Structure 1
Amino acid sequence: MQLRQGRLLAGLTGAALLAGVGMGTGFSMSASAQATYEIEPRAPEYLYARTCGYCHGHNIAPIIRGRALPPAVTAAIVRSGMGAMPAFKPTEITDAELQALAEWLARSEVDPEEHGG
């Protein structure tokens, strides 16, 4: 009986240690991933193509390229949403990425391939 209790205790102790190691590893991986993400922001063209262009330019939402929209207006709409457009959180697009995207959109030219909704 004592041997069985000893094995059970050893098993529980090992599981607790593994859980602790897993949490520590997960935390450091998250911190490492976040640090890398903040150092290397995604390019505005990439963000537009992957996020904005899906609706803005494919008959769903208004065309936003070539309109010289003020970056502050673009950033405010992206963060708060407008109409059917959802708000995008800083975990989805960082403040630095949003600023670069808004400035890129303000300078962008009309894309003849895009169609507004």
Structure 2
Amino acid sequence: MALAIGLSLVAGSRLVAASSVEASAQATYEIEPREPEYLYARTCGYCHGHNIAPIIRGRSLPPAVIESIVRSGMGAMPAFKPTEITDNELDALAEWLSQSEADPEEHGG
């Protein structure tokens, strides 16, 4: 019985530790949003600009249109959830893309 209680306490402490790590990771992610350039390079630029999807930089697309497409998806492009890109990150990314200049290194699909 003592062994079962001991194992239960260990398992419970691991659960609490995992929960606190998850909570602090979430708080850090929300406090320190990723930069639009980073998000574009790591997420959008994988397809856009590499002969897979249309070029989106330098087109002066309205931020509201970008945000809507990112959240809803379009054609082969998947929708991105707030757990993948926060609302604050999406706002900054949409503004950055709207004001960006075309990159001569990119090619449309």
TM-score, with structure 2 as normaliser: 0.98
- List, as ranges, runs of 4+ consecutive aligned residues in structure 1 with deviation greater than 6 Å: none
Q: Does 1:62 align with 2:72?
A: no
Match of 2:87 in 1: 95
User: Deviation digits for residues 62-116 of structure 1, max 9, x if unmatched?
Assistant: 0000000000100000001000000001111000000000000000000000000
Match of 2:6 in 1: 14
Q: Which sections of structure 1, spanning at least 5 residues, go unmatched?
A: 1-8
CA distance in 1, matches of 2:52, 2:25: 34
Deviation at 1:23?
1.0
Corresponding letter in the other structure for 2:41? A
Match of 2:41 in 1: 49
What SS class does the counterpart of residue 61 from structure 1 fall into? coil
CA distance in 2, matches of 1:15, 1:95: 41
What SS class does the counterpart of residue 103 from structure 2 fall into? coil
What is the aligned counterpart of 2:73 among 65, 74, 81? 81
User: Deviation digits for residues 29-52 of structure 1, max 9, x if unmatched?
Assistant: 111111111110000000000000
Match of 1:27 in 2: 19
Corresponding letter in the other structure for 2:48? H
What SS class does the counterpart of residue 28 from structure 2 fall into? helix
What SS class does the counterpart of residue 19 from structure 2 fall into? helix
- Count of equivalent residues: 109
TM-score, with structure 1 as normaliser: 0.91
What SS class does the counterpart of residue 88 from structure 1 fall into? coil
CA distance in 2, matches of 1:103, 1:88: 17
What SS class does the counterpart of residue 65 from structure 1 fall into? coil
CA distance in 2, matches of 1:78, 1:20: 39
